Amino acid sequence: MTYLIPDLHGQDLEVRLTIKNSLFIANLRHTQGREACNQHLQAMRELYPDANHHCWAVVAEAPENSTYWGFSDAGEPSGTAGRPMLQVLSHANIGEVSIVVIRYFGGTKLGTGGLVRAYSDATKAVIAECPTVVKRNYCEITISLHYDLSGKIEHLCQRHGGEIIDRQYDQQLLLHIKLLEANLTALQAALKGWPQVKLTSL
């Protein structure tokens, strides 16, 4: 499985919009897991303690895994902030990301539709500025084989994108290999032609 994640090198990305005198500050962070998302929200509350609202939306793991989605209106009328933010975020197909939109009320009420547009626009604006990189999931496997097959099997593993990270010399040779999860099935199929070679997933 591969998907996009923010490429921010540990930094937050922030975009500001002023809509009818209200200031909306959209802060985006690369966050993996719920705890990291909670830390992001807490950091924004501490950074902007006098703001009227700290609304948020998260996709804490792979974007297609809705188990790790979440949002909050944080005191705004129900359905006007967190849910629209999450809708924008989920359509961006980015994982491991949280967005907090901080609002300073400017004295003019925006109405339900206006709030939905404002929070959606703030979310779109910060996503548009976010550089991304493809996340690739790797796995590690062990292959046991006779020494006289080492050259052929190592070549076969490398053809499937495998990286040999360790060798152990015992009665048989043990190869510890790192490769993309997406390539594991093809490698397993290729090794079926070698009954004396055993593959174990770690």
Q: List, for residues 118-166, the tens digit of each pLDDT value.
A: 999 999 999 999 999 998 888 888 999 888 888 888 888 888 888 899 9
pLDDT higher than 80, residue 1? no
Shared domain for 117 and 147, answered yes or no, is: no
Contacts of 83 (CB under 8 A, 6+ apart): 71, 73
Which of the four pLDDT bands, split at 50, 70 and 90, describes residue 202? low
Shared domain for 112 and 142, answered yes or no, is: no
Contacts of 180 (CB under 8 A, 6+ apart): 136, 137, 138, 139, 161
Instruction: Identify residue 132 by its one-letter amino acid code.
Output: T
Shared domain for 26 and 118, answered yes or no, is: yes
Q: For tokens 């009954």, what's the residue?
A: 195
Select from 134, 163, 180 the last residue of a domain.
134
Q: Phi and psi dihedrals of 88, rounded to 5?
A: -65, -45
End-to-end CA distance of the chain: 18
CA distance 25 to 198: 55
CB of 129 closer than 8 Å to CB of 15: yes
pLDDT higher than 90, residue 170? no
- Looking up residue 144, the CATH number of its domain turns out to be 3.30.70.260
CB of 163 closer than 8 Å to CB of 179: yes
pTM of the model: 0.74
- Looking up residue 87, the CATH number of its domain turns out to be 3.30.230.30
What is the span of the domain harbouring residue 115? 2-134
Instruction: Identify residue 90 by its one-letter amino acid code.
Output: S
Token couple for 75: 């005191």
Neighbours of 3 (CB within 10 A): 19
Shared domain for 48 and 78, answered yes or no, is: yes
Shared domain for 12 and 64, answered yes or no, is: yes
Q: Phi and psi dihedrals of 157, rounded to 5?
A: -65, -45
